[in-house]
Structure 1
Amino acid sequence: MTKVLVTRKVPDRYVEQLKEFAEVKMWDEEFVPMPRKEFLEELKDADACFITLSEKVNEETLDAAPKLKIITNLAVGYDNIDIPLAEERGVTVTNTPEVLTETTAELGFTLMLATARRIVEAEQYIRDGKWKSWGPYLLAGKDVHGSKVGIFGMGDIGRAFARRLKGFEANVMYHNRSRHRIAEKELGVLYVSFDELLENSDFVICTAPLTPETKDKFDRAAFKKMRSDAIFINIGRGATVVEEDLIQALEEGDIAGAGLDVFREEPIAPDHPLLKLSNAVVLPHIGSASVVTRDRMIQLSVNNVKAVLQGHPPITPVTDK
């Protein structure tokens, strides 16, 4: 019997679709990852694996899964999977691109506005009973309108972010591993070096995936190059940032603030130093968390599993090429 392992609880309607052609073993928790030991045990006779970013797919994982034909990752990023090794073992890997682009950009824009206008800090100010009167600079923030915004990573999400900035009449710069001429023409964005982006931006937005080139890109030296009134936003991957260096930059005033939806280790601990900083807005990795988008992501993952197990090409394959 064909077996599909699902490592996070998803709505019954998707499980029923999988049951039309396979036995389904699903971890019965939505907010708690499947324990590694149980994950490896269930993989022994699995033909397909429906995973999230919480599951790491490495040599140990693939050694435990001799029957595995497809890994479908409920995310657009796939730094949790050793793609070359999966290809070597003949295992197809798929992800969920495009369906989450606009929702993630929307969340990033919300995070930028919230950080710029000190929304979380202002709401807490009222709850703490500190609001006694109006003042000219009470919780004064930073304008997005007419600002200079630097986007690190001009992929789908970076371009969606840039489209939103047009309505704010912002001047948009970007840095990418290669120039995106179409984005330059359609969106009026300016290609600059990484240092130029850091030095000239009111807001620096990281939308880049995690690669060897982007890992630890935002370190002490990078934050030192940013303006003291600049704000850093990360909706890409947590490991693009050296968190200790970001914390130091926020504490010492090298930058004015940060808005983060991703972290090096997730979830972060309740005593994480970032949670003690009033100039940091932190979210629990909810970039694609709208009901419609999550439905589309899960459905795409189901469709990928069905296609591969029925002998058809995957819909959204990931390759090492």
Structure 2
Amino acid sequence: MAARVGDVVTHYRARAALSHPAFCGLERAHLVVLIQELADPWLGRCESELRERRGGERKRAAGAGPDHKLVFTDRVLVTVVHLRLQLPHAALAELYGVSRPTVTRAIHEIRPLLAVRGFAVPDRPGIRLRTLADVFAYAKAEGVELRIDGTETQVRRPPAGRPGRKAFVSGKKKQNTAKTTTISDGSGRLLWSGADRPGRMHDQTAMRTEGIAEQLCLYPQVKAKVDEGYRGLANDFPNQVQAPPRKPKDKVPLGENYAWREARRRQSSARICVEHTIGEEKKWRPLQRYLGRRDSYAETHAAIAGLVSDRAARRPTRRHTSTELVPAWKAAC
């Protein structure tokens, strides 16, 4: 009995500490909503696994058998903390007074549920975007101009002699990386993040294999701003995809050079919000340098991006004043 009370006290203290935003990266109110959202899917998954293991319906009433060493709330909490700080499983197990495999199983149970949640929609509670087609349909319905950019995360170097070892070597960073693409709106709110590909693949190729060209054909009203890495898309869809203006040739008038610099600055200012969105994702330690298996990177990234989108969707829409130069008065003829 004394050991049982000690376990309860240990779990309570660990839960009180790890639920602080400094550890989990989420406000406590957001954490409560997340736990309520994942409760039914987790319970359904557990019942499905038990049914498959038994080969039929349960023969005893629900609740029979040994209790979980980590209750569902603590399972969600250790998973979120691990995603936020990439703490070792053994360290989290020590905080709760359980074994390391217990924490590992909890993370492997909760992380897939977080990964399939999708991305929150600004000003539309309860609606989530899960595919690139959903993003383009939303952009068409709401008249949103998209911002698209790619980023890389360093991953572990595979053993020598393994097939496909060079596919993850980034030509830009000269490291083993995984590449992902992020889409945001004009206010820098995350709408979608995916297209996880090896670091050697070009940004534009990653999005083409994800089907962005087909979506641009299906939704000709949707427009997007991109950087120089998506020049091919801008050439194929000049009325929809806007890339930075091309540099003028040598020996052009000085006025044209200044005009090109100003146009490039304006395009960069309108597109910079997606860089801030990527910066929000990079605050989570696994997306700075991923120490786990490369096979689980896509799932980890999707879980983190979904949590980031929850917070971003609550930000109000910002209305930017135009910086276009207009005459102060009409000149008399």
- State the TM-score, normalizing by the size of structure 2: 0.29
- State the TM-score, normalizing by the size of structure 1: 0.30
Higher CA-based Rg: 2
More helix by share: 2
